[in-house]
Amino acid sequence: MPRRKLYDASQGEEEAGVALGKAMKRLTKPVDELDREALEKYCSDLGATPMDHITARRPSRVAGEIRAVRIVPRAGAPAMEVTVSDGRGSVVGVFLGRRKIPGLSPGRRVLFAGVAGKDGNRYLVYNPEYQLLG
């Protein structure tokens, strides 16, 4: 005859302690840090290259949230610079000869594909292929 398992009260207490610990971490962490972690998870689920692992002069696909958009003159022609961050680092997409691209606005999530170049301490991707994400 099979033995019946008895209820172990200490197991329920351990699970409750773990759940309470996670809830306390969520409640005490700064909102910026929670947003950064959520963005990191979202970008890694897409299969994009993490921005802290980008190598110069190599094709890469990066995903993240647009942090800034600005128009900068380059060689007398306008260029739109779009700064994208995935929570680990940032990349600047430079669209030469463009003043505006519909859909590329701060707060929007986007995927860039292209060859990254290093300019000082930041990575630039000139005229990247881009995909607007939901």
What pLDDT score does 2 carry? 61
pLDDT exceeds cutoff 90 at 81: yes
Residue 8 is predicted with a pLDDT of 54
Mean of pLDDT values over 108-133 = 96
Q: Strands 109-119 and 59-74, how do they pair? A: antiparallel
What topology does CATH give the domain 39-132? OB fold (Dihydrolipoamide Acetyltransferase, E2P) (2.40.50)
Hey, where are the domains in the chain? 39-132
Model confidence pLDDT, tens digit, residues 33-47: 989 999 999 999 999
For the entire predicted model, the pTM comes to 0.78
Distance (Å, whole) CA 129 – CA 61: 9
More confident residue, 6 or 29: 29
Tokens standing for residue 13: 């207490």
